[in-house]
Structure 1
């Protein structure tokens, strides 16, 4: 229908005036019956019914020429070695290509990579790789998956190129919808640094929390202490935070930890 639209617009320009009339479904039975003739067997028709079969569309067909340029990619050295035995200059580079070529195979002019868990994977260049990532991530059947799932789907459908995971990460980071609707992560931006301790009470910490709504006894503060070696935790409520209350809490914490009576 998109091909017929420009031709319809050209025909409209030849009329001085025109208007669009909506025909109800009840008044359009004859046209509806004609549209169903495509899926009907012509042998069962009566002899007084004349049918014209159009063998080709009434609009001119545009010829599309596929232009393919010889652009070098990561597959070029491997294809050159497998087809004609040409290696790169330099002993180290030639040895590297010769070692890589053991995992590849050419079939009908297409480069494939051998795989242990699935059939041969078709190798693609950078342009095709970007299209595949976009199609799987945000295409018709895409659901904005993470890079790991996108890479797994690419290998399941039979495609491969070096650095698949990193290319998927860089491409998905630029997705506008993922940046707006992705869940907020609560993980810290930097790596956690573990706090180690060699013996009890070499390192310990204390923290004060509150004020909270008053509880029975008019307590509304909470003092916590932890020993990093044994992970011993003590917590006690207080009505107010003073130096005397902190000292009392620490004294009870040490007594309870070491069992001093």
Structure 2
């Protein structure tokens, strides 16, 4: 084995983690080239840098594009090159070097600006500045040979003047504003935006402050917008987005009891036997609700409920939709659904609209219970069966059919029919035994006809519900501000505090990250990972993400 050489780089300028990883890669490549290395294997724990260099991820950030171009130009100088991702725990020497340094370290480089700027200095010095033609005209009277261009230059130069060799522009904000080169303009924007007197002003407000301070350059408004867009503090402390990012996609069920939504309702007031929770299941087609009081929201209770209250009563469903709670998102429920070939789907984190049917069922059951308890809140387990029966036998405003009717083809007999003798109860009660037998046979025939017509009733109900969903969809989609993300994009995630619906405390950022979009899970749903390649569990809604500009 050959000698082990250590090299460290100190960055004396602001850089993101990804930019620092590129600086380390570029410094290592330059170090290898200085020793005339021809073949090289590079190992990095930055998944983003590895995938961008290997062209697995698309590079959209402008700064990282410059780093990538420089890295590729250095890579082309080697006869053989490979870049491999390794977990951080397998990259201990480099990790320890970055954190602590080594006592025998001899080579330490200090960078006061990004590497790609060093390679661009000479070209920038040779490249023309927007002020050059104006200065040349005002100092020497130099004009283009083309007559039209010469007249155009004269009109432009009429707005400018020279004072002590410096170029000034006549403006409306101030009598004269000093003209800046692009590198000077960046420093002025930095000072005005987040300097000692900076207020992190945005867009037009930042432009007004710069002009009133007496500075000018072309495209000042566009440059200010780009600068503010990339300001880390402005991104982390930005207001929460209220408009949804994706269009509403209703979930439609083709037949009864094929798709169920599950959710926990609670904690409720502690009742007899220690009941504090209600496990609620709703069928997406008929809106039939099953519910059971529980002492604890555990995976064992969920599995028992699915078997006894769903599978054994209504058959094996095709899909079950739940939130990301621990009682649902665990190996036990995965194994149960896998054993019975049930497609288990999870709503995006902090996005209950995906499981909207279960949320609506919770709301309906809770409203019925509150009005039946009359202050005796601990009696809710005794009232729960009656609340379920009341809901399941009540006709829907959308379909004009009750869940009971869509499930069994007829309306249930309820107590009021027995008390006041509804027509069907009165007819059955007044027959003599012989006539009653004939009526029962006739009723059986009618019942068979009802069952034959049940499919038509369900189709009609499905059409009415579909039309209702389309109206809701049109209304919802009017409020959408479309925001989509691609694989490899850098994003910030809304901060979610466990057990709190009140948002983050004052003086703390509303957003955290940045994260990398690992995979597009579906419409407006994404899987994330950190820049070190650590996968963030479960999918996240686009409503809770925003683009990060490095």
TM-score, length-normalised on structure 1?
0.48
Report the structure, 1 or 2, having the larger helix content. Answer: 2
Report the structure, 1 or 2, having the larger strand content. Answer: 2
